Amino acid sequence: MTEDKQSISIDHAALPLFVGVDVGGTNIKIGVVDNQGRTLGKTTIPTLNETGPEDALQRTHTALLTLLREREAPYEQVAAVGLGTPGTMDIPAGM
């Protein structure tokens, strides 16, 4: 996990929590903020395009769970997840 010196602890967080995921060509960045927009934590994992989207989704989920566990933030307190991807999306085609 990439620790931010401005991160707050879960003890000082205004619940619920929100997750942001930025999918890039090289890295996937994951951040968790509280209801006031204050950062609880963030992490980055490699995109690994060659392993496919299912693998990227699984690794993102695992990285998020690890981040929440390290910050002692309950998964049940996550109210929403926002996802940013490059280019256009074709949901019916799975892309």
pLDDT higher than threshold 60 for residue 2: no
Q: Which helix (H) or strand (E) holds 88?
A: none
Q: What CATH number belongs to 10-86?
A: 3.30.420.40
Q: What single string gives the DSSP state of each residue in 1-51?
A: -B--TTPPPGGG--SSEEEEEEE-SSEEEEEEE-TTS-EEEEEEEE--GGG
Query: How many angstroms separate the Cα of 66 from the Cα of each of 32, 51, 93?
Result: 12, 21, 30
| Token pair for 2 | 């990439």
Listed by start position, the domains of the chain span 10-86
pLDDT in tens, 26-48: 999 999 999 999 999 999 999 99
Q: What is the pLDDT of residue 95?
A: 67
